[in-house]
A and B are shown apart, each in its own frame.
Chain A
Amino acid sequence: MDAPKFKLYVTGVTPRSRRAVSALRAFCKAHWGDDFELAIVDILQDPSRAGDDGVLATPTLVKVAPEPSIRMIGDMSDSKALVKALGLAPTGAEDAE
């Protein structure tokens, strides 16, 4: 299976954005080790991207690959919810939170 590719839209370098990025990185590491791609898009640094990509709110996570593409919004530290939304098998680490 190809390495999953994600795009995370955040707003500036706020604690909330930092939390979303680090929580998502930890989640991806727990599920795919180093075999994943995560692009961070700061809509304050690149304002036109939100409009072009139709992003209505942040943090928004887009699973670019594998198909089908899914767009998710909410608390990226909620591993259980992420597992459910991405249709993954739970690792057991989610319960430890």
Chain B
Amino acid sequence: MSRHQQGSTYFAPSPLGSEVNDRLSNGAGHGNPARGTSYSALRIILAVIAIAFAAEVVVMLILAQVAIDSLVAEAFADAAMLTTIIAPALYFIVFRPLLALIREHRHSKESFRAIVDKSDDGILLVGQSGIVRFANHAATHLLNRKYEQLVCKNFGLPISEDKTTEIDLVTGAGMTVTAEMRVLSTHWHNESCFLVTLRDVTANANLREKLREQSLHDELTGLHNRRGFFTLSERPFKMAQRGGPRVRLCFIDLDGMKPINDVHGHDCGDLALKDTAALLRDTFRETDIIARLGGDEFAVLCLSPASTTEETSPIARLQERVADFNNAGHRPYQLSFSMGTVDHDPSGSASLNELLARADEHMYNHKQEKQTARDQQEARLAAAAVAHSKI
């Protein structure tokens, strides 16, 4: 049994319940609830018995003084004697244990209240309709609301029972705190309800998010790295395999990276990679997953590609932007890319890795075609130069 389950079992007898009832009935919020009602009644009863006993003793003494030797005097004397015996007996047999029980109950109630109210974890009791029945001090603090602003408000029906969920608590306009929420079923005043514990994990969540970002991103370009690409592509790719929105994979290689590094230095090489990232961001949609796989290789998973026509394809758009970039001439190098694209076939069983390998193959073919074209162009130029020199 978990710590929380133990808590809920202890919760059921509900010393808290009576306290909450006090709070709700007298609107005392976090103030002291009404106490000592049973104490006062007990004191009155004891006082009445004591007064009755004293009165009888007095009457007995008076009767003894005036020496009335009668049945009335005897009756009074007997009554006084009986009271003398019964009153202490009553005190020891009934009232003392009762007082001890009341003290213990009060102590238990106060201890429980201290545990609930001094807990760093927020505790909410939420009814079956999602309405908050009770909130401890930490919960009011976490949600930045007063007790009265929280109780009777609709928190929402906690849907995931007996498991930890991370949620954002709304603490003000546009301000949130990340909290771990754990939900357990319990009973309160014969009503089924949820015991919701909230733990502030903002610092951990922020750190985790930072680390996650770092682990999935390429520091130089700000694009996703290889791990980020595969992590983020997994879901849309699986959805495409199940007949969801189609995906297209583009493999892009920056041509001539080595000459840029050799001629202009590695800083210029880094700049070329950053320029490439900017061009890719500018070309593809925000929802597409763009990554630098490593070195001068980039990949893009296009989600729900609109069309495969030449005019609208992202490859055509990228070529246009590269031409614009090179024409602007504000860098000592020119950018050129070899690209390969593959549309995912939902009827096939190719994995993301296989799709990437095919796109890589297409890219390599493109690179070869470009190289062949360049070689032919150079050969033509050389032949033209030879012909010109002969003339």
Binding site for B on A (CB under 8 A): 11, 14-16, 22, 26, 43-44, 47-48, 50-51, 54-61, 70-75, 78, 81-82, 84-85
Contacts and interface: CB of A to CB of B under 8 A. Distances in A.
Contact of A71 (B156, B163, B173, B183): B156
A71 B169 contact: no
B158 A58 contact: no
A61 B155 CA distance: 11
Given A11-B176, A56-B143, A16 B157 contact: no
A81 B162 CA distance: 11
B369 interface: no
19 contacts: A11-B170, A14-B209, A48-B173, A50-B170, A56-B169, A57-B155, A57-B169, A57-B181, A58-B176, A70-B157, A71-B154, A71-B156, A72-B157, A72-B158, A73-B156, A73-B181, A75-B163, A81-B160, A82-B159
A11 B168 contact: yes
Interface in B48-90: none
Given A57-B168, A57-B179, 11 more contacts: A11-B176, A15-B209, A50-B173, A56-B156, A56-B170, A57-B167, A58-B167, A71-B157, A72-B156, A75-B163, A78-B159
Contacts, number: 90
A54 B143 CA distance: 12
A81 B170 CA distance: 23
Interface in B130-147: 130, 143
Contacts of A82: 159
A53 to B, nearest CB: 10
Nearest to A59: B167
B219 interface: no
